[in-house]
Every structure is written in structure tokens, then in C-alpha cells.
Amino acid sequence: MQAIRPTNIGNPDFDWEYVDELNVGLDLSLFKTQRVKLVADWYNKITRNMFIDLPLSAFSGAGSGGTAPLSSARMGNKGIEWSLSGDVIQKENFNWNIGVNGAYNQNKILRVSDVTDELPDGDTRIIKVGLPYGTYYAQRWAGVDPANGDALYYNRDGAVTNVYSAEAEAIPLSANMFPKLTGGIATAVRWKNITLNALLAFVSDVQRWNNIDFYNENQAYMTSNQSKRMLYDRWKKPGDNAMLQRIDVPRNFTSKDIQDASFMRLRNLQLNYSVPTALLSQPGS
């Protein structure tokens, strides 16, 4: 028997998303040659009618995994963006410039809807009043029992148990998928017609779900490529202080899968040579 059903349900009250924003900026140059420059902008944004998805019951007619669009949330963002640059050395045939820029943002959910202060955001995050948008949500990992190799977890009250129950025991973690601090460091050195430019980029105070670890350390995928930790760091006998549980114990998603994703990396390194104009001039011109 064939039939059709909606995968999502409409919302006749769905509205536009609005942003109220206040910005205060500063531009400052020092010395006659303006060899030091500072630009700073402070902002405060309130997003009203923020779009979120409401998970629906399987009995709603949309089936398992169905959602309804809401425009009921409110979110605040405030922070500062800045740029500071200067010529450390400023001569006719030699110049060295260095600059740093960054952005720091504080984010908070101020409202979810009329009927609830929290909603799941995908499989691993939560939208909750008072917390930043992008907050991870999981049961906390408590290690491996040295006596029998069981995986151990923390309940919401802090008690340790070997029973995994994410639906009942998961809590918001002090971890977020969006960085609080981003920026870069740039420098340029010029000697006559040769210039060397470099750019470093950094991201701080950000976490990510390490999906690779989740599968590589999972006994359900033992026939696939596995991490060497499955051989050397799993529990094998009583008394082992191991990173991974006994081989027959399921590998569940917990707080240990949310890992630091901060970085600083070289984004660009460039060497330039400016051909003198005289060499490009045609004879007799």
C-alpha cells in the first residue's frame, strides 16, 4: 500500500528575523607618518525572531526526525573587533611592518519559545536560555573501570555509573562549536625591490566533535581501519588503567568526544620582487 507523508510541518506564524545593533568605533593614527594605526569596533547585537527548528513527535504526522520551523528565539551577541599595525622600521630601502587583528565575541541565548527554555540542536548540541548558541550536550565520560573494563559515566548528580543513558543524564558542557576569539598576525619585510609577506591565523576557545575517534575506537567497526589505541590503550585484564573500555563494551558518544579545536597556523607566505620601471622601458622611449 503506497502513501505519502510530510517530512516537515509548516508554521503559519513564521516571521522575519530582525537584528537590533549598536556599533561604536575608533580609528587612530599616530605620528606624522601615521606609522602606527589602531582600528577598534565594539558592537552589541540582539537577534529577534531567531530561526530554530522544533523536533516533532513521530505521532505528529511528519514521521521520525520531522521538524517545524519556529521564529521565536532571541539571541545576544556582543564583542569587539580590532586591528593594530605599525612600521617597526621605516627607511627608504628597508621597511618592516607588523600587524595584529582579532575579534572577540560573547554569545547568549535569551529566549527559546513561549513553552520551553531549551530545545535540542541536532544530535550533539542544545539551545538553552543563558547558554551560548552552539553549546554541546552529552553525558560526561568518567573513564574505564580498572577492575572489569566497563565504560564509566557521570550522572547529572555527579555519581559514577556504568549505565549509559544520554537522554536522561546528558548535560550542557562548557564547550562550544563557535570560537570566542579569532584573529591573525601579519608581517611584511621590504628590502629594496624584494618583499616578504607572512600571515598567521589563530582560533581560540572552540571545540569540535571528533567523529573520527568515535568510529576508529568503536568495536562495531573492528573490520575497518582502526586507531592503534584499540590495540595498545584498551582494557585487557584486571588492573589495567586504560583509555578505552573492554572490547565488547559499546562505544558511546560522551563528553570525551568533544575536543579542543583551537589552532594557530601559517596561512600565507609570499615572496615578491618588483621589477624596476627602468628595465621595462623600451629604448628610445
Q: Please tell me the distance from the alpha carbon of residue 83 to that of residue 104, in angstroms, as a whole number.
A: 12
With respect to residue 204, please indicate whether it lies within any of the assigned structural domains: yes
| pLDDT number for residue 188 | 96
| pLDDT number for residue 18 | 96
pLDDT band at 50 (very low <50, low <70, confident <90, very high): very high
Q: Rg of the chain over CA atoms, in angstroms?
A: 27
243-247 contacts: CB < 8 A, separation 24 or more? 243/144, 244/144, 244/217, 245/144, 245/149, 245/150, 245/151, 246/148, 246/149, 246/150, 247/219
| pLDDT averaged over every residue in the chain | 91
Write out pLDDT tens, residues 207-257: 999 998 888 888 888 877 678 888 889 999 999 999 999 999 999 999 999
- Please determine, for residue 59, whether its predicted confidence score (pLDDT) is greater than 80: no
- Please determine, for residue 284, whether its predicted confidence score (pLDDT) is greater than 60: no
Residue 111, domain extent: 18-43+73-275
Write out pLDDT tens, residues 130-153: 999 999 999 999 999 999 999 999
| pLDDT number for residue 85 | 95
With respect to residue 133, please indicate whether it lies within any of the assigned structural domains: yes
Write out pLDDT tens, residues 226-237: 788 888 899 999
Q: Strands, DSSP E only, in the chain?
A: 18-30, 36-55, 67-90, 94-111, 118-121, 125-128, 135-138, 140-144, 151-154, 160-161, 171-176, 181-191, 194-204, 207-209, 258-260, 263-273
With respect to residue 283, please indicate whether it lies within any of the assigned structural domains: no
- Please determine, for residue 285, whether its predicted confidence score (pLDDT) is greater than 60: no
With respect to residue 11, please indicate whether it lies within any of the assigned structural domains: no
Write out pLDDT tens, residues 157-184: 999 999 999 989 999 999 999 999 999 9
With respect to residue 264, please indicate whether it lies within any of the assigned structural domains: yes
With respect to residue 1, please indicate whether it lies within any of the assigned structural domains: no
| pLDDT number for residue 63 | 63
Average pLDDT over residues 98-110: 97
With respect to residue 122, please indicate whether it lies within any of the assigned structural domains: yes
| pLDDT number for residue 272 | 94
| pLDDT number for residue 53 | 87
With respect to residue 281, please indicate whether it lies within any of the assigned structural domains: no
* Number of domains comprising the chain: 1
- Structure pTM? 0.85
pLDDT band at 69 (very low <50, low <70, confident <90, very high): confident
- Please determine, for residue 61, whether its predicted confidence score (pLDDT) is greater than 70: no
| pLDDT number for residue 64 | 66
| pLDDT number for residue 283 | 61
In the sheet where 118-121 sits, what is the strand order?
118-121, 125-128, 135-138, 171-176
Please give the single-letter amino acid code of residue 85. Answer: S
Q: Please tell me the distance from the alpha carbon of residue 162 to that of residue 140, in angstroms, as a whole number.
A: 12
| pLDDT number for residue 58 | 66
| pLDDT number for residue 228 | 82
pLDDT band at 31 (very low <50, low <70, confident <90, very high): confident
| pLDDT number for residue 4 | 74
Lowest-confidence range among 12-26, 57-71, 130-144, 190-204?
Answer: 57-71
